[in-house]
């Protein structure tokens, strides 16, 4: 049975993917180059409950489906790759960890996902798509977005870990 995913886990991950698409495309604040919202919550929850592979699948598929069905601009596969990697990072730091400590289990994925992958790597993709500014210009422009997202992650990740403990009883 090792390596097989249950129908319940597959269904839960599909629902998390759909929820992430809805939260990102319809319940977030969007400007040119900025997205502030809670779309990371279902990705993190899938990663906490089912592991890094599930987190990567939910994060990557949510970005791909959202970009194809409800585009905000041209599609760039780099955003999908980063979305999958973000889901995996949540799983690497939070899946199966007992007890969950603020450092490294909460702080590390918030920093890696938001500052390294979100701010640094995704800014490369944004600067490629909207080349009217240099990378440095886009970087500075996007700093306030991550000044909001990092604390949001730091507040919500411990809550999600506690909630995941309740969800794991039913998986």
- Provide the angle, in degrees to the nearest 10, between the axes of the packed helices 40-50 and 77-94: 50
39 lies in a domain? yes
- Confidence at residue 171, expressed as pLDDT on a 0 to 100 scale: 67
**pLDDT tens digit sequence for 15-34:** 999 999 999 999 999 887 78
Residue 2 maps to a domain: no
Q: Tell me the residue ranges of DSSP E strands in 23-63.
A: 29-31, 34-36
DSSP state, residue 27: S
Residue 1 lies in a domain: no
CB neighbours of residue 163 within 10 Å:
15
Which residues constitute the domain of residue 126?
Answer: 7-166
* Helix, strand, coil percentages, rounded to 5, for the chain: 75, 5, 20
Contact 115, 146 (CB under 8 A): yes
Mean pLDDT, the chain, rounded, equals 93
Inside any domain, residue 33? yes
27 in a domain, yes or no? Answer: yes
What pLDDT, on a 0 to 100 scale, did the predictor assign at position 1?
43
Q: What is the DSSP string of 105-127?
A: IIHHHHHIIIIIIIIIIHHHHHH
- Residue 98 placed within a domain: yes
The per-residue pLDDT for range 73-91, each reduced to its tens digit, is 899 999 999 999 999 999 9
Asked if residue 120 is part of any domain, the answer here is yes
Q: What is the pTM of this model?
A: 0.94
CATH number of 77's domain: 1.10.1760.20
Report the pLDDT value the prediction gives residue 151, as an integer from 0 to 100.
97
Residue 57: inside a domain = yes
Phi, psi of 36 (to 5 degrees): -115, 120
Structural domains counted in the chain: 1
* Local confidence pLDDT in tens for the 171 residues of the chain: 467 889 999 999 999 999 999 999 999 998 877 899 999 999 999 999 999 999 999 999 999 999 999 998 899 999 999 999 999 999 999 999 889 899 999 999 999 999 999 999 999 999 898 876 689 999 999 999 999 999 999 999 999 999 998 887 776
Tell me what pLDDT residue 2 has.
63
């Amino acid at each position: 049975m090792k390596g097989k995913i249950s129908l319940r886990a597959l269904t839960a991950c599909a629902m998390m993917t759909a929820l992430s698409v809805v939260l990102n495309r319809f319940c977030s604040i969007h400007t040119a180059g900025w997205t502030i919202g809670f779309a990371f919550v279902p990705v993190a929850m899938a990663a906490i409950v089912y592991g890094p592979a599930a987190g990567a699948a939910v994060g990557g598929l949510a970005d791909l489906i959202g970009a194809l069905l409800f585009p905000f601009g041209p599609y760039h596969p780099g955003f999908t790759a980063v979305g999958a990697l973000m889901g995996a990072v949540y799983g690497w730091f939070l899946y199966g960890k007992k007890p969950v400590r603020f450092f490294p289990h909460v702080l590390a994925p918030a920093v890696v996902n938001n500052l390294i992958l979100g701010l640094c790597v995704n800014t490369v993709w944004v600067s490629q798509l909207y080349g009217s500014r240099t990378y440095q210009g886009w970087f500075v422009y996007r700093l306030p977005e991550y000044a909001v997202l990092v604390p949001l992650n730091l507040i919500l990740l411990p809550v999600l870990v506690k909630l995941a403990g309740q969800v794991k009883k039913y998986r």
